[in-house]
């Protein structure tokens, strides 16, 4: 028996890093997906097949004895949990197919966790979206225990969401967003960038507290602009958010160049996600998409993305 599900990647419009310290973030699911297909197998093992690596792990091994790479942990966790709770005797194979480049801040690992959790549970007992989300967040925390859960929530729900650790809300935009995503082609480590910000905070407690207050204000204003569909002010606030990310040290020379190029013609541009590499986003509409794409293509790989309103889908 087989079961498939898919979930979208995401961009962070506002509030990355600050969200770790309780500030609200705004995220948007994008029209690039990961599909997971799960199947029960007779062999007593968990098999993972993906374009970034394969693994076969015998059932019953402890984490320490497993030789599988770290990024496989969430899938092993999800598979073992489902096999255990459903009382299944055999093993499980999970295949992942992705349209989202990994390690670029576009939420590929969160989308993979959501899609994998849904496809695995689809074999036994379909679970509601909220429960899949809860299980996907727990799975993601097997590799990054401080993960805020923001990416996973945006992927499971779809659309635009505002997120704090204890509150997740849907945001209805006055206009559908059009974004250009440009890839620095430098894979980042979310963990390292989060640590970098923690060290910045420890050295600059007062300044950091003030930055958090400013970011909170920016996020509240951005929510109003999103709802009213005011692209100009939204873009301006994205650029202001970028200035703060730069100050915290998570931008790079290449990202700065990309943001500057995009900033000439788009409404605004910023890093999306942890920084230190990964992607930037530029807010555009039909009046400035071609020009902004033209400028960005000279310095990086880029593509146009739109909002995914569906989130998690059982296939």
Q: What is the largest CA-CA distance in the chain?
A: 60
Position 148 contacts ligand PMV (CB under 6 A):
yes
Reference 20, options 279, 208, 242, 234; nearest CA is 208
User: Which of 107, 158, 263, 268 touches ligand PMV (CB under 6 A)?
Assistant: 107
Give the number of C-alpha atoms closer than 13 A to the C-alpha of residue 58, restricted to the C-beta side. Answer: 5
Q: Which of 31, 146, 151, 172 is catalytic?
A: 151
User: Which of 278, 296, 302, 307 touches ligand PMV (CB under 6 A)?
Assistant: 278
User: Which of 150, 181, 245, 302 touches ligand PMV (CB under 6 A)?
Assistant: 150
CA distance 199 to 302: 32
DSSP state letter for 223: H
Rounded to a whole number of angstroms, the minimum distance from the CB of residue 270 to ligand PMV is 13
Angle, helices 205-228 vs 190-203, to 10°: value is 120
Indicate the residue among 120 and 274 with the shorter CB distance to ligand PMV: 274
Q: Which stretch binds ligand PMV (CB under 6 A): 76-84, 143-151, 207-215, 307-315?
A: 143-151
**Is 166 assigned a catalytic role?**
no
- Residue 217, Cβ neighbours under 10 Å: how many? 12
Site for ligand PMV in 9-48 (CB under 6 A): 16-17, 19-20
CA distance 23 to 8: 24
Position 196 contacts ligand PMV (CB under 6 A):
no
In residues, how long is the chain? Answer: 315
Catalytic residue numbers read 151
- Residues near ligand PMV, by CB under 6 A: 16-17, 19-20, 105, 107, 147-148, 150-151, 190, 194, 273-274, 278
């Amino acid at each position: 028996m087989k079961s498939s599900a898919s979930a979208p990647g995401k961009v962070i419009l506002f509030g990355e890093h600050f969200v770790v310290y309780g500030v609200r973030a705004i995220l948007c699911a994008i029209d690039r997906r990961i599909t997971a297909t799960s199947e029960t197998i007779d062999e007593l093992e968990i098999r993972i097949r993906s374009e970034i690596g394969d693994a076969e792990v015998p059932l019953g091994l402890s984490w320490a004895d497993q030789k599988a790479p770290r990024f496989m942990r969430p899938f092993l966790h999800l598979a073992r949990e489902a096999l255990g709770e459903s009382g299944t005797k055999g093993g499980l194979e999970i295949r992942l197919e992705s349209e989202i480049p990994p390690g670029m801040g576009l939420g590929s690992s969160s989308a993979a966790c959501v899609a994998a959790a849904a496809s695995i549970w689809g074999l036994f007992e379909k679970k509601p979206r909220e429960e899949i989300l809860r299980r996907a967040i727990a799975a993601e925390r097997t590799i990054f225990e401080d993960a805020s859960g923001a990416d996973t929530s945006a992927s499971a729900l779809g659309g635009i969401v505002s997120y704090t650790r204890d509150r997740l809300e849907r945001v209805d935009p006055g206009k559908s967003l059009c974004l250009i995503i440009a890839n620095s082609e430098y894979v980042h480590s979310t963990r390292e960038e989060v640590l970098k910000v923690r060290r910045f905070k420890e050295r600059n407690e007062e300044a950091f507290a003030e930055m958090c207050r400013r970011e909170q204000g920016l996020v509240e204003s951005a929510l109003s602009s999103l709802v009213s569909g005011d692209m100009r002010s939204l873009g301006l606030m994205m650029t202001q958010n970028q200035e703060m990310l730069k100050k915290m040290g998570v931008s790079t020379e290449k990202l700065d160049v990309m943001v500057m190029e995009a900033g000439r013609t788009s409404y605004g541009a910023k890093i999306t996600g942890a920084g230190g590499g990964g992607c930037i986003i530029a807010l555009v509409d039909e009046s400035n998409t071609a020009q902004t794409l033209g400028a960005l293509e000279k310095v990086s790989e880029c593509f146009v993305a739109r909002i995914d309103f569906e989130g998690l889908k059982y296939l």
